Amino acid sequence: MQNINLVRMLDFQQKGDERGQLVVAEGSGKDIPFEIKRVFYIYGSDADVVRGCHANRKTEFVMINVAGSSKVKVKDGEGNEVIYFLDKPHTGIYLPTMIWKEMYEFSKDSVLLVIASEHYDAEEYIRDYTVFEKETKMEK
């Protein structure tokens, strides 16, 4: 199975009134398709900066631009790639394991929230694209 087929946009419930908007994203399969173990966010990146440039063997992610916008390019190591534009605080992108990700074209006010299924473990990161390609071919 190609993991790129598992990448998908998520639309979170919005609740709002004259006081403003509230977006709810619950873990353990309710809104986020995994148990949440880590949360971090990226901000202050210039438009020409590329972040990410890695794949993960064990960690799944959900990315939400809670302010501003950015693009996320995903690749499967087999020549397939898709670009997602995140610009709404109530939508996100789900990334399964073994997906190469690159985040870029950050707007000046971008805050990219990242929700992860695992605690940080440098050993499970693949930071060389040729190694990633080899490992995706070995999975078959």
Residues with active-site annotation: 54
**Backbone phi, then psi, for 41, in 5-degree steps?**
-140, 155
95 burial (CB, 10 Å; 0-12 / 13-18 / 19+) is: buried
In Å, how far from its chain's centre is CA 111?
Answer: 13
Reading the block at residue 50, the tokens are: 């590329």
Helix, strand, or coil here: 133? helix
8 Å CB contact between 72 and 11: no
Q: What is the DSSP string of 21-80?
A: EEEE--TTTTSSSS---EEEEEES--TT--EEEEEESS--EEEEEEES-EEEEEE-SSS-
